[in-house]
Structure 1
Amino acid sequence: MAGSSTDLAYRDAVALVTPQIEAVVDFVTEHPELAHEETETSGYLVEQLRGAGYSVTTGIAGMPMAFRAELAFGTTGRTVGVVAVYDAPASINSEGAVEPVHSCGHGPQAGGVIGAALALARIGDELSGTVVIVGCPADEIHSPMTRRQGSGKALTADHGVWDSIDFALYPHPEFIDTVWPSSLWMRRETARVIGQRTLRRDVISTPLRALANVTTIAEAFDPAMLIIETVIVDGDVEESAGMTFEASFLLFAKTELELDERAAELHELLGPASWTSSAAIAGVRPDAAVTAVVGDAFRAAGREFDSSPPALGFATDFGNVTQVARAALVGVGREGGWRYHTAEGAEQFAGPAGRDVAVATAEVIGLSVIRLCAATEL
């Protein structure tokens, strides 16, 4: 483990780069972009990392807005990867249109990760190992391009980006300081029914029957385990003209087997349809040793670490990363939490609270990286 003098030097470095951390928060917040469309934000983050001496490769894992930035501190030590995210949720405005709004904390998240990278570079002569910043687009599962192309962390895992990395960290603003030990599995199930329009009571339209069954589905499932994402019915208006029903459902479960069982129940309740399934988002796989190291980093940053958090009641594609690398899903807390995906939340993340949690993230993540890089026997 790194000594206290290294911790102090690192925290001093974070203080020096705090104006840059705040500038990253402001830039990302002021340039909201939807998933896989993060042209300005991705380019800006790459520029900050290259300016600090990182070797950066863009367009990784088949995603133009993804990047991998690496800086080696010596010939010994471990390799630690840290996720940066920078897309904005696909919010629905007062006129019903989709627009990007940074209401999920990705400005402070990116600011904290880039801040850690800049501060580590300043004291690199005192460190061992290698740090890798992996820029992952498309964190938001409901964004149009995420639904079509997939999510960034899952795609980087699929393309082997994490295969050579010993430990992976993904921080996010939360309501407590912790490492989440688990998350839900998730899969998107999409149904399509092709039939005919009818203007008669004594004739069944299969698309309309499927539509009626959506109400049955909503009543049958725990709303925390099934989200009716979209439902579209379309077709000509004449008797016996063509008509279609399309619906997508987000399914959640504690295990992959339970996810399969839930999907089978959904299919049965909807009735005859053509189904397509997305790749599964895996549940987070915990690592007690990595969690202990991150907990020590929280304490070194002067923060209390909650070692027994409640269950994480949603899915994250960082779960896919944890299937290929030892990892920690890190929550950096704020008393009272955040109003995610709301106008109030957007104001919180854009204001002083967002800047504060970005600096706290930089401290905790950098101190974690220092410890993990040096942990040759972990």
Structure 2
Amino acid sequence: MNADPHAVKRHLDKRISLVHNDAVSLSHRIHSNPEIGFEEEKASRWMSEALDGAGYTVESGICGLPTAFRASIGTGDLNIALLAEYDALPGMGHACGHNLIAATAFAAAAALAPFVDELGITLTVLGTPAEERLAAGGKLLMLERGGFDGIHAALMVHPTPFEVAAPQMIAASRLQVEMTGVAAHASAAPEQGRNAADALTVAQVALGLLRQHIGKEDRISGYTTHGGEAPNIIPARTTADYVLRSTNVAQLAELENRVKSCFEGGARATGCSHGFSGGGRNYAELRSDPVLAGLYRENAEALGRDFSHDPNMNGFLASSDVGNVSQVMPTIQPFIGLGTWPVVNHQPEFTAACATPIADSSVADGAQALAATIADAASQKSVRESLLGKTPALAEGRG
């Protein structure tokens, strides 16, 4: 492997230009046909077809997940993965810009395809469904089932309002709660009932008071998913769905215990019983690889991307199953800015922003920055050797 990264990178601009229209078309198709987690049949098929057309060998339905795929090209000893997300949010479409993530991964993969032998790499694109399905994200399940075995590094970009090379992504868990009381006629004999809606209300008041005493990077969010049957029946069953977040997995466990105490208190105060489900598969905090993040920033700045500190980034904390990937191999997920502030991810206005000329240009810039970063990592001896020395020792016997 004697690749000149500068020579390769000089050709990448032309390659990106050649595939940009196809990438934008892919982005807009996915955007116009939003599919929630584990139901991304069209997006997964369109991605697979596009990569097949770019010369990749594609395996669909890997790891027992019908909408996951693996596409690969090259035979080099250094195996680098581009990660693609393509799930949408219920009722809101692509309000997190996963259509752009998918299109950017495709464009970077297509641009690099002619150079994999020169770079001495195997380039893998992993289609990772259901990132928004916290506690059951595709990457987390694929890690458990061997989908990342043999990969030395994983890269992707994520659209947000801002440009950040190594964003802080915190740990998260999901907690589903069920309160069980006793039904009764709400007027004739309310004293015979035990109000499960009151149990949730008391718990939510306790959570509101708890927020004063948790860490500044802790987050508690959720909603009532079932509140009762009819206004003239004392609710005998209520349910809620919560997401808890903290700086890291260890602190998340402590927060979860405190939150559970609030629900336990609500049940006790109202004479109800309670139960918990969910959890067990937490999203870990992101450990951005500093070398890869530095290379990405250099390449993105060369394209005119501005990483000046934006004060609006303070407290801009999210979570992803890419954090779990980063616990076992060098990983980056830079933010690529769409300049939408104060519009942010998970707002309907952000859905609209992810199918605009600015979003389309982010696909080209993100793809070129990712592709150039991979070229640098493969060509710089110290980086390459470091990545080859960090092959993850993942568990065997996966399905």
Same fold, TM-score > 0.5, yes or no: yes
Distance verdict in 2 for CA 1:26–1:3, change over 3 Å: same
Amino acid of the residue matched to residue 52 of structure 1?
A
CA distance in structure 2 between the partners assigned to 1:341 and 1:208 by the alignment: 28
Distance verdict in 2 for CA 1:56–1:354, change over 3 Å: same
CA distance in structure 1 between the partners assigned to 2:293 and 2:304 by the alignment: 17
Distance verdict in 2 for CA 1:2–1:321, change over 3 Å: farther
The answer to whether 1:277 aligns with 2:278 is yes
CA distance in structure 1 between the partners assigned to 2:287 and 2:88 by the alignment: 26
**8 A contact 2:284–2:323 mirrored in 1:** yes
Counterpart in the other structure of 2:269:
none
Counterpart in the other structure of 1:350:
355
The answer to whether 1:79 aligns with 2:79 is yes
Amino acid of the residue matched to residue 16 of structure 1?
L
Amino acid of the residue matched to residue 351 of structure 2?
A
The answer to whether 1:10 aligns with 2:9 is no
Equivalent position to 1:263, from 256, 274, 280? 256
- 2:157 aligned counterpart, secondary structure: strand
Tell me by how many angstroms 1:21 deviates. Answer: 1.4
What value does the CA root-mean-square deviation take over the aligned residues?
Answer: 2.6
Deviates more, 1:287-296 or 1:164-173: 287-296
Counterpart in the other structure of 1:191:
177
The answer to whether 1:232 aligns with 2:202 is no
After superposition, give the CA deviation of every residue in 1:120-156 in whole Å (9 maximum; x if it has no partner): 1134454221111110111223xxxx67xx1112212
The answer to whether 1:160 aligns with 2:146 is yes
The answer to whether 1:331 aligns with 2:335 is yes
The answer to whether 1:220 aligns with 2:209 is yes
Deviates more, 1:307-316 or 1:5-14: 307-316
Unaligned regions of 5+ residues in structure 2, if any? 213-217, 265-272, 387-399
Distance verdict in 2 for CA 1:313–1:2, change over 3 Å: farther
Counterpart in the other structure of 2:41:
39
The answer to whether 1:365 aligns with 2:367 is no
Distance verdict in 2 for CA 1:177–1:193, change over 3 Å: closer
Counterpart in the other structure of 1:178:
164
Q: TM-score, normalised by structure 2?
A: 0.82
**8 A contact 1:334–1:357 mirrored in 2:** yes
Deviates more, 1:242-251 or 1:47-56: 242-251
Amino acid of the residue matched to residue 332 of structure 1?
I
CA distance in structure 1 between the partners assigned to 2:27 and 2:85 by the alignment: 12
Q: TM-score, normalised by structure 1?
A: 0.87
Tell me by how many angstroms 1:226 deviates. Answer: 0.7
Deviates more, 1:16-25 or 1:229-238: 229-238
Equivalent position to 1:377, from 378, 385, 398? 385
- 1:275 aligned counterpart, secondary structure: strand
Aligned residues between the structures: 361
Runs of at least 4 residues of structure 1 off by over 6 A? 236-239
**8 A contact 2:163–2:336 mirrored in 1:** yes
CA distance in structure 2 between the partners assigned to 1:254 and 1:125 by the alignment: 40
Counterpart in the other structure of 1:94:
none
Q: Which has the higher strand share?
A: 1
Tell me by how many angstroms 1:306 deviates. Answer: 5.4
Identity of counterpart residues, as a percentage?
23
Tell me by how many angstroms 1:174 deviates. Answer: 2.4
- 1:180 aligned counterpart, secondary structure: coil
**8 A contact 1:232–1:247 mirrored in 2:** yes
Tell me by how many angstroms 1:169 deviates. Answer: 1.0
- 1:8 aligned counterpart, secondary structure: helix
